Structure 1
């Protein structure tokens, strides 16, 4: 077992989410204050606890807002400093980034014990304006140089115990994020707490302290720390061009990013002045900042790599929209699962949905690297239920068309349509757009060929399957699955009331295989069949006709309810990405880490193979095995579902 050095790990590391119990005494005191009512020394201390809780909440919100902005690529794509995604390893390392807020809340709460009954008198809500000036001077003259020299000492050698056991934790994050600002050891945060507290304590000792000063100093401090770690350049170069001296008074995200990539430089807290005086200022700082700032407003920015592949996703419902990677990283980095903690966020999500309805712009939702090729996931501002509203059809297709044309203009090679974005009734599996724009350079792909391949591989891997029951039999996937299985001499019971559509599919089969396709009109016809392929949503009542031990394969969106305990249910067709995928830090809805829907993987394979055809409309049954072999060749692997 590795040796643990003093103050190198947090005392509540093993508590998980229960660490927030530490806030319990503060909450109890806050409740006791009876919403600011009453008098007396004890109640004044209780009100101080209310302020501490408010400050803690605001600090967490500042880090969250910076994170959300940095990951809204429709706003920040051209401003990214490090063109990489944040992977699961970094997310897991930074999972407890807010430990420092708990630590500093505990330290601040000790004021009740050192100054019992006097905090309300020592700290008025609004103090002397000179208190702000005093705090600013103490920050510039004491906190800044003190931070600079301590920070420089921590990094003076890569082999020093202080760096290896303490400061290296902070530098373990390859791509700085606002959460990275809080990712450090307890020893470091105790030092930073003292540095941050000097201006407040100094002003208070001079009789100039106030609650408003504490709020302002702490929140501005966190704002600047989050900005510096955000990986998004927000300071315009024109500001430094007009007022050159300002470049020594305020750092930029680019400036601080260089400290993480080239550690022996740019040690300052917020003021590069001390790096200039200490001769540790990175010579690339200003030119790199100017370059990124100029490119941020350049629509033809050559610095930003154009993605070769785009997956056009969509939200399913209000709660699933919260799984977007720019909302809550702790939520989107795990497979989607409903929990009560989402309830307070639903009203704001509903308002965002209304704004999206009225917007005509497609927005980016996340990005990641795949085999060192920049790939992105874009989102269509629509929710699942809208796809089933007849009057919404034209509007949805307009958004999808705009996304395709934008991808074509950017130079994207392949754009793949997710689930409902390629609905047959909506646009014929993308065929509508290819016909309307015959000169598209971007290849439009529905990815259903690989979806069919995944389902068929799972069915055919079971030698005992001689008969299957297929719902949604005349859809794109249903047709392809039926034709493929009949070639393998598997009897397919096709549930459809349209004899004309059934006959059309049957005529596509080789003459010697057509007898394996059987039209049925009721679920009762499948009572003896234990392999069901569900391509149309099925009610619990309809599931009752399945025999005990039946396994439900499915390609229906949304998936059917797991109603039968004596049956097994397969997940939607999916594939696991290769181990060398870089920068992947978001789970695709309910899929596990590193797993994507088969249609998504199908688009990736299309891009990696360099195929130049569009994959729209009907599935080419002859290409199912070709696409399957190509996926395996590139390291994608199907998920193994356990079933009889």
Structure 2
């Protein structure tokens, strides 16, 4: 049997739980519009306070996930994974609860509504009541919740989050938040009953309370240790993220709300609190571990730029899709991207651990369309080069280039950088060998003929040469006879006749297997016969126009099950799935290969790379039935 007040009554409502704010909005709008009065202005204040409270926690979350700012001051080095994100998905339930309780209080005690805008005495009374009542009340209540029964049925939920995060502050049961309501409500109610209450006092106290809660549950230390040397008494009146994090590792210590003074009085102060705090803030550079592998990504468009953990953690943990609620933030995102362009620096976006190796994703603040502007080529290559050299200095073993960062016309698939810096210790990898392997292993064994667009690209060439060796007839769509003949000569003599040049889509009207390496329009797709399957390695993916045909996914692989700390999706990929070029770099690093994988694809290594990927637990992701 479930313990009372251990589950939220609206937990099955999903996003519709926010309709619980509806009566407050309706009551305010009704009196304002139809009664032409603002007597229910208190409803608006409750809604505004709730919105601001959520915003405070979101700001803390954004800061925690800005790894390019916080990587050197992280308390726990592991990342927040999908399991913790899902567990904390409804972290804001307590805001709804307190909004409902505040509404009931205002209806039952009308005197709470008629507050002046400002009363300086209220702040002094509030502080006094907080220190003498709220702090000790929370301290002892917190200790009681660590008793056997209360911890098992209530408080263990809060401690189930392995990595502290601002949203973890709200991840608790209704009973715990009811106690927290009392902790918050006593100082405010006391000040109001004494006649010293004010609107500004309510706003200030509630938001300051949430700010300090977000501070304590931050996984990035923000308070410098020097301040405690200059003002020693302050360490007993203000806790730090490090201080509170120790409570989650040693649950018999550090129970205070915000003031370690009560832990000192109760003899529950962890002796390592300030020593660990000093170590984290003074040895930040030494504590940080450089990655073994880096995936160098780029921004696709403005909307996808918001699909990062430091914007909305929940949104980034699901495959990207355009959402209407993001449209109002488009101008702000564009302005931030402009600032990032001016700074012209590669940013650390996310990381995960795989078998003891740290893997990071860096992003270049350049949009996809910029890669096709002739005057932007030099600047983009400069940023890619700087990222490679930075990785080399950090001791990174492999850096993999994503999508357009390895464009043939841009830098020859990474060849430019390897030739320019022959002494590189970091291995530069375009990952296209595994991409080709993924595409080729999607084919059914009985396929005898394929139609290939983008036939003279790196992937197109490798695909054509591999298939012709398997005695598959390849219709290569290209208008360049010279480039076709060059590829044909690379094939074994007895296989060259399997490569056939075609110049029109009509040539494929009887071929049911298309490999799309160059974007094709719905009209061009119309030449495919009914029942055709479109394999593709083109970015962006082609439109699924034909209902009588099937469309393959972009080449991708699922990371091994033992990956740790992965909490964001790679663009439109599912959870735990990365593009094949990303996976190719991972395999390169895990295998310890010492060669650069740049330029043309070595067809002889396709099967080798594929087997290595499977050996390390990576699995293909495809909707194709290979039976």
Shorter-chain TM-score range: over 0.9
User: For the Cα contact (< 8 Å) 1:568–1:643, is it kept in 2?
Assistant: no
**Of 6, 23, 35, which aligns to 1:8?**
6
**Of 442, 449, 471, which aligns to 2:453?**
471
CA distance in 2, matches of 1:435, 1:374: 27
**Of 412, 422, 428, which aligns to 1:428?**
412
**Of 347, 351, 358, which aligns to 1:367?**
351
Alpha-carbon shift at residue 37 of structure 1 (Å) = 9.8
- Please say if 1:599 is aligned against 2:613: no
- Please say if 1:84 is aligned against 2:84: no
Alpha-carbon shift at residue 344 of structure 1 (Å) = 1.9
- Please say if 1:635 is aligned against 2:617: yes
CA distance in 1, matches of 2:440, 2:117: 69
Alpha-carbon shift at residue 579 of structure 1 (Å) = 1.0
> CA offsets per residue over residues 135-158 of structure 1, 9 Å max, x none?
1111111111111111112114xx
Tell me the residue number matched to 1:201: 189
- Please say if 1:102 is aligned against 2:96: yes
Aligned with 1:591: secondary structure?
Answer: coil
User: For the Cα contact (< 8 Å) 1:572–1:597, is it kept in 2?
Assistant: yes
CA distance in 1, matches of 2:433, 2:247: 47
Tell me the residue number matched to 2:338: 354
CA distance in 1, matches of 2:34, 2:219: 41
Alpha-carbon shift at residue 432 of structure 1 (Å) = 1.0
**Of 611, 630, 633, which aligns to 2:593?**
611
Alpha-carbon shift at residue 389 of structure 1 (Å) = 1.6
> CA offsets per residue over residues 443-468 of structure 1, 9 Å max, x none?
11110000000000111xx1221011
Tell me the residue number matched to 1:145: 136
CA distance in 2, matches of 1:263, 1:400: 46
CA distance in 2, matches of 1:367, 1:47: 46
Tell me the residue number matched to 1:222: 210
User: For the Cα contact (< 8 Å) 2:106–2:113, is it kept in 1?
Assistant: no
CA distance in 1, matches of 2:625, 2:506: 22
5+ residue gaps, structure 2, are none
> CA offsets per residue over residues 184-214 of structure 1, 9 Å max, x none?
0000000001101111111111111111001
> CA offsets per residue over residues 72-122 of structure 1, 9 Å max, x none?
111000010000011111111101000000000111111331134x4442x
- Please say if 1:376 is aligned against 2:360: yes
Alpha-carbon shift at residue 125 of structure 1 (Å) = 1.4
> CA offsets per residue over residues 466-496 of structure 1, 9 Å max, x none?
0111111111111110110011110111111
Alpha-carbon shift at residue 367 of structure 1 (Å) = 1.4
CA distance in 2, matches of 1:339, 1:70: 24
Report the TM-score, using the length of structure 2 for normalisation.
0.98
CA distance in 1, matches of 2:35, 2:137: 42
Aligned with 1:529: secondary structure?
Answer: coil
Report the TM-score, using the length of structure 1 for normalisation.
0.95
User: For the Cα contact (< 8 Å) 1:474–1:501, is it kept in 2?
Assistant: yes
- Please say if 1:240 is aligned against 2:228: yes
5+ residue gaps, structure 1, are none
Alpha-carbon shift at residue 643 of structure 1 (Å) = 5.1
> CA offsets per residue over residues 365-390 of structure 1, 9 Å max, x none?
11122223211111110111211222
User: For the Cα contact (< 8 Å) 1:551–1:643, is it kept in 2?
Assistant: no
Give the 5 Å matches for 1:167-566. 167-296=155-284, 301-459=285-443, 462-566=444-548
- Aligned pairs, how many? 626
Question: 623-632 or 348-357: which moved more?
Answer: 348-357
CA distance in 1, matches of 2:187, 2:283: 38
Alpha-carbon shift at residue 36 of structure 1 (Å) = 13
